[in-house]
A = this chain, B = another copy of it.
Amino acid sequence: MSLRHALLGLLADRPMSGYQLTRAFDGSLAHVWSARHSQIYPELARLRDKGLIDLVDEGPRGRKTYAATPEGIEELRRWMLETDGDRGGRDPAYLRVFFLWLLEPADAAAYVRRLAEHHRTTLARYEAAAAEGSPTTARERAFRVALEAGIRHERALLDWAGWALHELEPSR
Contacts and interface: CB of A to CB of B under 8 A. Distances in A.
A5 B164 contact: no
Contacts of A107: 80-81
Given A107-B81, A152-B157, A91 B142 contact: no
A132 interface: no
Interface in A39-95: 73, 76-77, 79-81, 83, 86-95
Interface residues of A, number: 62
Contact of A148 (B5, B114, B145, B163): B163
A127 interface: no
A31 interface: yes
A163 to B, nearest CB: 7
Interface string A123-162: 0000000000000011101111110110011011101100
A41 to B, nearest CB: 19
Q: Quick one: copies of this chain in the complex?
A: 2
Shortest 7 CB-CB contacts between residues of A and residues of B: A156-B156, A101-B142, A9-B99, A152-B156, A100-B142, A97-B146, A30-B88
Interface of A: 2, 5-6, 9, 12, 29-34, 73, 76-77, 79-81, 83, 86-103, 107-108, 111, 114, 137-139, 141-146, 148-149, 152-153, 155-157, 159-160, 163-164, 167-168
